[in-house]
């Protein structure tokens, strides 16, 4: 399971990276491009509007300058003010003609040298008297041109906001009076309205960045000090996250700064919207990544898991496994290959077993074939010998038995009933009795129920022959006993007992695993043992022991108890 998780995590992380990274990069870049373009556009618009404002102010200044120059140059006005005349029609007419172009924009007043009002383009003066040691008139005395000053006029639309003043001198250079130009809020409003677009606001500041006029009266009190503070602190007027952006331009002669407040192109709500969209997309990406990760890992992991368990089965020698290839993809092909490999493996194994069996059978047949000529040679030799020396009738008997044995040997069956084996053994013993002059006796004790059980052909004869040749040689009253008994429910034990010389000590025990070389002279036992093991497996074979009382040998053969036409036990 741990494997699955790590695999899934890796897939998930991979998907996440592959989807989220481009998304975020893309969003950031789009945002950036979007903002740059909007800002550039807003900047250029704002600059155009500011240009318009400054042009308007320029022409306003030109009007003021021309008026002041005309009045200064006028030969009547200064002397009239110096004389303290208050109601000269000549002065009024000159004042009106000099202010012709600018009268709509401001109020023009003439004050005498003591700062007392004398003439005006309006019916009433804004200030009946102005201090000469303070403010505009003081400033006007210090310059030959126009002096400008901001005025705190109040909140009303007729409140004076801005003053310009110029001194009027008599021909001998004495100050005779002052021209004072006053602009009210409504003057500025009339003048500047329309020079900037309606969603923007305009703020006019004097040369020390103190508010003169603003299109929204609240801006003067709040925004202007803030902007001034930022300017003095050397900070930018607005930051990226601020609600408004500010453009500035300067009308130099009047020392008026125009500050245009415009809503930021990319304001908080747009930003929020973009962020939400990006976050939403990112969430979708995460979701899809999880789903894809799960799905793909499942698609990959299940076939792998099936293959895994199939390989486990094979490791436990079960070749009857089949992995169904669900899809026609790489993993499906892998499963198909695996199945094909299993089929080939199984075929190979079966082939191997078949080969082995064929080999064993060939070996057995060869062993059996080896017995026949051996025995025949001996018997014929004996017959020849007896008939030559003794002229006795036993030859007939011997040849009859020999014929029976030969028929038995060449019969095609590999397994024969036990009673038949014993019968052939008796024929063989009869021959041997004649051969060896009956110096021994032979007895077979087979329980009737075991008489029909199947044993490999010719396994008793070599044992008995071994007993006669090696055990009973030169022994009086030799006796050979063949017994059969059932061991447990499915084993047959055939015991050949003799009372001969016994076995050498190194030959007792299980006969198995002795090489053919060591069995020299006991080839019969070797063959029988080999036959038993080849037929029934390594657990079966011959067992040699010494007889009771230390005399003679006991050779027992253990083999599965089998009956004709019956399944193996």
Partner 1 sequence: MVKQRVRGLLCLAVTCSLLLAGCTASRPVPATSAYAPPEEQRLVVYTSHKEEVYQPIIKEFEARTGIWVELVAGGTNELLERLTQEADSPKADVMFGGGVDSLEAYGDCFTPYFCKDWQQLTPSMRSESGLWTPFSALPVVLIYNATLVSPDRITAWHDLFSPAWQGRIAFCDPSISGSSFTGLVTLLSAMGGNQDKTLMDFAVSLDGRQLSSSGDVLTSVANGTDLVGITLEETALKRVEAGDDIALVYPKDGTSCVPDGCAIVKDAPHWKNAQQFLDFISGQDVQQRMETEFSRRPIRSLPQEETVLLPLSDIPLLDYDISWASEHHNGILMSWAFYFGGEEQP
Interface residues toward partner 1, by CB under 8 A:
13, 17, 21, 24-25, 28-29, 31-32, 35-36, 39, 43, 131, 133-135, 138-139, 149-150, 152, 208-210, 229, 231-232, 234, 236-240, 245-248, 250, 257
- Sole residue written with tokens 């318009």: 52
Strand partners, 166: 179
We find the least distance from the C-beta atom of residue 270 to partner 1, in angstroms, to be: 13
Closest CA to 88 of 106, 105, 110, 69: 110
Give start and end residues of each alpha helix (H) in 390-522. Answer: 394-410, 418-435, 460-466
We find the least distance from the C-beta atom of residue 43 to partner 1, in angstroms, to be: 7
What whole-number distance in Å separates Cα of residue 454 and Cα of residue 247?
A: 118
Query: CB-side exposure of 472: number of CA atoms within 13 Å?
Result: 26
Indicate the DSSP class of residue 550. G
Minimum CB distance to partner 1 smaller for 111 or for 246: 246
What whole-number distance in Å separates Cα of residue 168 and Cα of residue 77?
A: 8
Minimum CB distance to partner 1 smaller for 51 or for 329: 51
Minimum CB distance to partner 1 smaller for 25 or for 362: 25
**Token representation of residue 464:** 């008995």
E strand spans, 256-322: 256-263
We find the least distance from the C-beta atom of residue 539 to partner 1, in angstroms, to be: 52
We find the least distance from the C-beta atom of residue 236 to partner 1, in angstroms, to be: 4
The answer to whether the CB of 531 falls within 8 A of the CB of 456 is yes
Minimum CB distance to partner 1 smaller for 134 or for 563: 134
What whole-number distance in Å separates Cα of residue 399 and Cα of residue 322?
A: 63
Give start and end residues of each alpha helix (H) in 202-260. Answer: 217-233
We find the least distance from the C-beta atom of residue 112 to partner 1, in angstroms, to be: 18
We find the least distance from the C-beta atom of residue 28 to partner 1, in angstroms, to be: 5
We find the least distance from the C-beta atom of residue 69 to partner 1, in angstroms, to be: 23
CA angle 329, 331, 333 (to 5 degrees): 70
Closest CA to 220 of 207, 208, 233, 211: 211
We find the least distance from the C-beta atom of residue 327 to partner 1, in angstroms, to be: 30
Minimum CB distance to partner 1 smaller for 46 or for 530: 46
Closest CA to 524 of 374, 383, 412: 374
We find the least distance from the C-beta atom of residue 122 to partner 1, in angstroms, to be: 25
Minimum CB distance to partner 1 smaller for 264 or for 379: 264
**Token representation of residue 278:** 């990006």
- Sole residue written with tokens 């790590």: 6
Minimum CB distance to partner 1 smaller for 210 or for 298: 210
Closest CA to 475 of 551, 545, 555: 551
Residues 6+ apart with CB under 8 A from 26: none
We find the least distance from the C-beta atom of residue 185 to partner 1, in angstroms, to be: 18
**Token representation of residue 28:** 């950031």
We find the least distance from the C-beta atom of residue 212 to partner 1, in angstroms, to be: 12
Residues 6+ apart with CB under 8 A from 294: 8, 12
Residues 6+ apart with CB under 8 A from 74: 94, 98
We find the least distance from the C-beta atom of residue 118 to partner 1, in angstroms, to be: 21
Minimum CB distance to partner 1 smaller for 1 or for 232: 232
Minimum CB distance to partner 1 smaller for 133 or for 198: 133
Closest CA to 402 of 377, 420, 385: 377
The answer to whether the CB of 522 falls within 8 A of the CB of 452 is no
Minimum CB distance to partner 1 smaller for 25 or for 345: 25
Minimum CB distance to partner 1 smaller for 63 or for 247: 247
CA angle 479, 483, 484 (to 5 degrees): 170
Closest CA to 146 of 128, 164, 129: 164
What whole-number distance in Å separates Cα of residue 304 and Cα of residue 484?
A: 58
Minimum CB distance to partner 1 smaller for 270 or for 508: 270
We find the least distance from the C-beta atom of residue 35 to partner 1, in angstroms, to be: 7
Residues 6+ apart with CB under 8 A from 153: 159, 160, 161, 184, 185
Give kind and range of the element (H or E) at residue 441: strand 440-445
The answer to whether the CB of 76 falls within 8 A of the CB of 91 is yes
Minimum CB distance to partner 1 smaller for 247 or for 478: 247
């Amino acid at each position: 399971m741990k494997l699955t998780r790590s695999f899934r995590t890796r897939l998930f992380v991979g998907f996440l990276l592959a989807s989220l990274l481009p998304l975020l990069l893309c969003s950031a870049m789009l945002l950036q491009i979007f903002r740059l373009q909007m800002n550039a556009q807003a900047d250029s618009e704002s600059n155009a509007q500011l240009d318009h404002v400054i042009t308007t102010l320029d022409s306003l200044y030109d009007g003021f300058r021309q008026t002041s120059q005309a009045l200064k140059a006028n030969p009547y006005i200064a002397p009239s003010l110096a004389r303290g005349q208050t109601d000269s029609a000549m002065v009024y007419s000159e004042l009106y003609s000099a202010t012709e172009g600018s009268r709509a924009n401001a109020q023009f007043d003439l004050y005498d040298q003591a700062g007392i009002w004398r003439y005006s383009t309006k019916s009433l003066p804004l200030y009946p008297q102005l201090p000469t040691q303070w403010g505009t008139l003081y400033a006007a005395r210090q310059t030959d041109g126009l002096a400008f000053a901001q005025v705190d006029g109040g909140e009303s639309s007729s409140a004076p906001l801005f003053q310009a003043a110029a001194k009027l001198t008599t021909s001998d250079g004495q100050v005779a009076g002052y021209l004072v130009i006053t602009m009210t809020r409504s003057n500025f409003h009339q003048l500047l309205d329309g020079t900037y677009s309606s969603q923007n606001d305009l703020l006019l500041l004097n040369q020390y960045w103190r508010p003169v006029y603003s299109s929204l009266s609240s801006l003067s009190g709040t925004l202007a000090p803030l902007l001034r503070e930022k300017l003095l602190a050397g900070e930018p007027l607005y930051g990226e996250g601020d609600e408004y952006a500010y453009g500035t331009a300067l009308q130099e002669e009047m020392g008026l700064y125009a500050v245009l407040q415009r809503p930021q192109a990319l304001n908080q709500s747009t930003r929020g919207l973009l962020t939400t969209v990006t976050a939403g997309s990112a969430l979708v990406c995460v979701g899809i990544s999880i789903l894809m990760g799960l799905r793909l890992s499942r698609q990959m992991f299940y076939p792998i898991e099936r293959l895994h368990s199939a390989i486990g089965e094979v490791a436990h020698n079960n070749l009857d496994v089949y992995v169904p290839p669900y899809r026609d993809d790489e993993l499906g092909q892998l499963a198909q290959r695996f199945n094909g490999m299993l089929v080939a493996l199984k075929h190979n194994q079966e082939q191997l077993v078949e080969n082995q069996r064929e080999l064993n059978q060939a070996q057995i047949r060869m062993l059996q074939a080896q017995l026949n000529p051996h025995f025949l040679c001996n018997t014929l030799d004996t017959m020849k010998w007896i008939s030559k020396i003794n002229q006795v009738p036993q030859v007939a008997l011997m040849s009859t038995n020999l014929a029976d044995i030969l028929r038995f040997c060449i019969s095609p069956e590999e397994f024969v009933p036990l009673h038949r084996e014993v019968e052939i053994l008796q024929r063989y013993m009869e021959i041997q009795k004649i051969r060896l002059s009956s110096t021994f006796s032979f007895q077979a004790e087979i329980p009737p129920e075991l008489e029909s059980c199947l044993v490999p052909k010719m396994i008793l004869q070599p044992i008995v022959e071994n007993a006669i040749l090696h055990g009973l040689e030169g022994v009086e009253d030799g006796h050979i006993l063949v017994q059969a008994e059932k061991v447990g429910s499915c084993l047959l034990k055939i015991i050949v007992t003799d009372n001969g010389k016994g076995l050498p000590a190194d030959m007792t025990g299980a006969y198995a695993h002795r090489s053919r070389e060591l069995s020299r002279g006991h080839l019969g036992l070797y063959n029988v043992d080999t036959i038993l093991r080849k037929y029934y497996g390594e657990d079966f074979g011959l067992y040699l022991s010494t007889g009771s009382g230390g005399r003679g040998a006991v050779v027992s053969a253990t083999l599965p108890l089998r009956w004709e036409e019956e399944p193996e036990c």
